[in-house]
Amino acid sequence: MDEKRELLRHMLAIVAYRATRALEGAPDHFAGFAGAGRMPVQILAHMGDLFDWALSAAMGQERWRATQPRAWAEEQQRFFQSLQTFDAFLATGGPALRQPHARGELLCRRDQGRPGRRGPARRGEAVQGAIGIDPIGRPTASTPHPL
């Protein structure tokens, strides 16, 4: 894997880690907080849209699609699934996912909420390739394998 791809994967892991820490323990009513310009659920939806766009650009089929924010828990899951899908694309080297069947499988897994296989989570570290949702829907941003 080339250095640029590794750096990008590490940056995705950092975003996942920081988002996990920011969202951890946030009550459901936090999603509708209106004292900072955009509501948190709108910001999270926009961030998910950005990573979906980044994946489409990396695949050579750039497209922007602004989505309407969903329920808070759904939006959190969609955001982390967008990160995970982009990370999986980068991890495989990309070209294989340019084939329609492989891309479709990856996006289908994401849309069905089936995260990739990950090891047990450890707290306090950002590890590339360690982006996902745990079995009960909470975001995870670290696993025990090294950078």
Domain assignment present for 7: yes
What would the mean pLDDT of 119-135 be, rounded to a whole number?
53
Domain assignment present for 66: yes
Report yes or no: 22 and 47 within 8 Å, Cβ to Cβ.
Answer: no
Instruction: Specify the number of domains making up the chain.
Output: 1
What would the mean pLDDT of 83-109 be, rounded to a whole number?
69
Backbone angles phi, psi at 140, to 5 degrees: -120, 145
Does the pLDDT of residue 32 top 70, yes or no?
Answer: yes
Summarize pLDDT for 39-80 with one digit per residue, the tens: 999 999 999 999 999 999 999 999 999 999 999 999 999 999
Domain assignment present for 104: yes
Does the pLDDT of residue 1 top 80, yes or no?
Answer: no
What would the mean pLDDT of 102-108 be, rounded to a whole number?
55
Q: Who wins on pLDDT, 93 or 41?
A: 41
Helices (H), the chain: 3-23, 40-58, 72-91, 100-111
Residue 141's pLDDT is: 52
Task: Write down the residue that tokens 């996912």 correspond to.
Answer: 97
What would the mean pLDDT of 103-130 be, rounded to a whole number?
53
What would the mean pLDDT of 139-143 be, rounded to a whole number?
50
Residue 36: band (very low, low, confident or very high) from pLDDT cuts 50, 70, 90: confident
Domain range for 18 is 3-23+43-140
Domain assignment present for 145: no
Residue 2's pLDDT is: 85
Q: Who wins on pLDDT, 124 or 18?
A: 18
Domain assignment present for 72: yes
Does the pLDDT of residue 133 top 90, yes or no?
Answer: no
The Cα-based distances of 11 to 30, 36, 102, 138 in angstroms read 26, 26, 24, 20
Does the pLDDT of residue 122 top 70, yes or no?
Answer: no
Q: How far apart are CA 93 and CA 70, in angstroms?
A: 31
